[in-house]
Chain A
Amino acid sequence: MLNFIVRRLFHAIPVLLGVSLIVFFGMHVIPGDVAQMILGDKATPQTLAHLREQLGLNQSILVQYWEFISHAVIGDFGTSLRTQNPVWQDIWIAFPVTVQLSILSLLVALAVGIPIGVRAAVKQNGWFDNLAMVGVLVGISMPVFWIGLILMMLVGVRWDLLPISGLLSDGLALRRITGMTVVDSLLTHNMEAFWDTGRHLVLSTLTLATIPTAVIARITRMAMLDVLQQDYIRTAWAKGLRYYPITYYHALKNALIPVVTVTGLQFGALLGGAILTETVFGLPGLGRLAVNSILYRDYPEVQGIVMMSSAVFVLVNLVVDVLYAVVDPRIRLDREIEA
């Protein structure tokens, strides 16, 4: 197992190197001069020349890439042009917000998606199945910002039940430990902040959960349909077992592999794809940071964020592969490598 993990980590190196090439050269082929873009219409020829000099834009692109990659190896992505902070620091502040939102959404998605998928499979082509699959289609197709705005308008403004944006009410103080407000409020025994941040997170969590819920429900249904046709399930029914032990104990366990795969992929997608949700709900996460940086042409920050997100994606995939073995003891990771 350890052997497997180490080897997989080594495999990540060429992946990240490839990402670094794409992001670096991508930033440099977009039309327009970076310095001009940053300084805008107030630029004078002197300030332009000065900024180009400071950013090293006068050097050849290969030298610039070498500068970038040799520092990036030790986690130094330089200083953000927009916030003036070291890039790692901005990411360090924004990332926990995204992680918290993604985990909460994924939990909701699993808790809702799996039971829906199971039930839909058991009663294939019944009314619940049809309804659920239409719901899944709607869930996948609806634009996230639209759901978010509708929820805000109804629950937040019309019924005035919940706050609509931000992480905490204005003026409420919370000491930062992990940067995840739910965790921090529990760690500091600040129950007021716990309830407050909980209320703030409801709408954004539900919004971000729509797509993964739909995907998980669909995959669970598919995998369950497969398993439910197997002989041992028929045997289970024949020997008089009830619905619950058959579906959840015997069948679901064997249907989990594709669910785990999809969940891992969805988690990676959530980390990178919370951009819209974070923007709509005004959450200070990584997605927002990325958008701001791109708009400002803050390329050290963009490079840092993309590299970071890619690394996390690779890690999540590794965790998923390890989970296979946990979920299904028949899978032996060391052997898989040899195959």
Chain B
Amino acid sequence: MTRNRILSTLAVLPVALTLSIGLHGPAARAAAPFVIAISADNTGLDPMTVMNNESGFVMAAIYNCLVEYKPGSTEVGPGLADTWEVSKDGLTYTFHLHPGVKFHDGTPCNADAIVAWLDRQLNKSNPNYYANKPGVDSYVDFTFHGVDSYKKVDDRTVRIHMTKPNAEFLNSLAMVWTGVTSPAAVAKWGPDYYKHPVGTGPFKFVEWGPNDHVTLEANTAFWRGKPKLDKLIYRVIPESAVRVMELTKGTVDVLADVSPADSKILMENKNVHMLAEPGLMVNGVALPTNTKPFNDVRVRQALNYAVDKESLNKYLYKGLATTMNSPLPPTQWGYDKTQPGYPYNPEKAKQLLAEAGYPNGFNATLYVYPNPRGYNPVGGATLGQAIQADLKKVGVNLTLQQLEWGAYLAKVRTREFSDMCLTGWSGDNGDPDNFVGALWESSQIPSGNMAHYSNPAFDALVAKAVAEPNYKTRLALYKETQKMLMNDAPWIFVNYATNLRASSTKVHGMVLNPTSMFFDMDKVSKD
């Protein structure tokens, strides 16, 4: 019997050993760093060669842009350029740089540096041209289309000229993807620069452990003043439940992405502060405006009245979405909050259908994707079923067709496509044109404009707005486009998903930017 006991002890020993390693290790360490949990690894830290949020999260702390978003908004304010002028014809932009700014490697951020940075994006014969590698994801074409020349005027002045006006340009220059890179570091590292980022921002790059973490340290010489945090770590934690546990435990300070399923638990935790606002995104159903019966505006309006958005938001989205009343989200400058939208009104829907000659409704097909998207966290199939149920009440019988995401995009983004399909959009640069132009201009058929909406009056209005250098005039023009789109109803306008971020209550000074990026990290502190 004693022998048996010895054996049982032996069996338990290794477990006990592993546990004891755990329990008796030294626990005290140097001052804890500030940790941001992200759900996936970044794919590189060279702003012009990446397009994913995870890369953006890190780069926002490393780089500055020529102009930058005012905290918490999509409006453009000073960045590396203190001031700028746009010529009356909207073709020439002159930027006056902040004096004395240096990159983390000591290189001065002057007009030469800006020109070198532009050249790498626009001059195909530049030895470090950004697209020399295959498969590069980039916003360069998006931002700089139409730019034909750029030159240094004096040490602190740069001038950019374009062939046709593009008022979206300033907003695009504020994107994290337009962060200004050190020309010396680019020359030093060549194609490997994305692993050795050097900017002018509040934090300097230290190391990147793939699929694990990125470590940054404070740039004590930051030109806007020393950051309040010493060390900033972005840690990859793929499981959302584990991210929540780490925040609860106090080993992580901020959750960059909060899954809607976790939001309730987090909101009930008194040590957690939730940042929430309508995201820079829209979610809806594209209606085939060139196909019967959807070519009748009354039918499209009827479908809008027939969907009970408020109930969807409350029950399906658990309160984490708000009803769309404009094609622009509320966090986008230019958003017109006076637009009435389409309040749920099945009677009015039936009446409009009857007027259009469909008193008994009709049959149609709705294409849906299976997966959740940023602008639709519950997933396409779930939303499709809810809409199907609502439309049935007014006599419109939908057949749902589900395709895997890649196949879905390939199917719905063709000129021949003539059914309803779920769609949505996340804003890129916080410019109104990035919504109204990208989604409904006739030139965007069939890629962004899956409704095949083609309205010459609307096209003219959008073209005028994007050519207009004056901010106030643009505001008025975009108000007009919103009204026109809401009335023409090329989509069933559904909702704006809520942008969520959670932080420990010890964290101060965090502001949620509509583009989700971690801008202004120099102002963040921790008790």
Footprint of B on A, CB under 8 Å?
A: 30-34, 36-47, 51, 54-55, 79, 81-84, 90, 93-94, 107-108, 111-112, 115-116, 118-119, 145, 149, 152-153, 156-157, 160-167, 169-172, 192, 195-196, 198-199, 202, 205-206, 242-244, 279-285, 288-289, 291-292, 297
Contacts and interface: CB of A to CB of B under 8 A. Distances in A.
A32 B407 contact: yes
B407 A94 contact: no
B245 A170 contact: no
B251 interface: yes
A36 B51 contact: no
Contact of A292 (B40, B136, B209, B428): B40
A280 B233 contact: no
Nearest to B236: A282
B100 interface: no
Nearest to A169: B29
Contacts of A244: 3
A198 B32 CA distance: 19
A244 B410 CA distance: 68
Contact of B26 (A46, A162, A192): A192
Contacts of A145: 239
B15 interface: yes
Contacts of A288: 211, 238
B506 to A, nearest CB: 15
Contacts of B35: 170
A279 B236 CA distance: 10
Contact of B447 (A43, A55, A281): A43
Interface in B15-58: 15, 18-19, 21-26, 29-30, 32-33, 35, 40-41, 43-44, 49, 51
- What range describes how many residues of B lie at the interface? 35 or more
Contacts of A111: 11, 13-14
12 contacts: A42-B428, A43-B447, A55-B135, A84-B44, A93-B210, A149-B242, A152-B245, A153-B245, A156-B245, A165-B242, A172-B29, A195-B26
Nearest to B44: A84
A224 B469 CA distance: 85
A81 B49 CA distance: 12
A198 B19 CA distance: 9
Contact of A79 (B134, B210, B235): B134
B474 interface: no
Contact of A279 (B22, B134, B239): B239
Most buried by B among A41, A116, A167: A41
Interface string B210-248: 111101000000000000000101011111011001101
B409 A165 contact: no
A54 B26 contact: no
A83 B245 contact: no
A32 B251 contact: no
B472 interface: no
Contacts of A172: 29
A41 B138 CA distance: 14
B233 A161 contact: no
Given A44-B447, A284-B236, A289-B211, A170 B410 contact: no
A192 B211 CA distance: 23
> What DSSP secondary structure best describes chain B's contact surface?
mixed
Contact of A161 (B22, B41, B447): B22
Given A171-B32, A282-B242, A297-B406, A54 B7 contact: no
Contacts of B26: 192, 195
B363 interface: no
Nearest to A205: B18
Given A40-B409, A145-B239, A171-B231, 16 more contacts: A33-B410, A41-B425, A43-B447, A79-B133, A82-B43, A94-B210, A119-B11, A149-B241, A161-B22, A170-B33, A171-B215, A195-B21, A196-B25, A198-B22, A279-B239, A281-B242
Contacts of A38: 135
B515 to A, nearest CB: 14
B409 A157 contact: no
B236 A198 contact: no
A192 B26 CA distance: 7
A160 B249 CA distance: 8
Nearest to B9: A115
A108 B134 contact: no
B22 to A, nearest CB: 4
A107 to B, nearest CB: 7
Contacts of A45: 447
B129 interface: no
Nearest to B11: A115
A31 B21 contact: no
A70 B425 CA distance: 41
B251 to A, nearest CB: 7
Contact of A202 (B4, B22, B409): B22
A119 B242 contact: no
A220 B193 CA distance: 54
B68 to A, nearest CB: 22
Interface in B99-143: 133-137, 141
B404 interface: yes
B76 to A, nearest CB: 22
A83 B8 contact: no
Contacts of B187: none
Q: Which 8 A-B pairs have the closest CB atoms?
A: A32-B406, A195-B25, A284-B211, A37-B406, A111-B14, A54-B134, A115-B11, A284-B212
B211 A292 contact: yes
Most buried by B among A30, A156, A242: A156
A32 B413 CA distance: 13
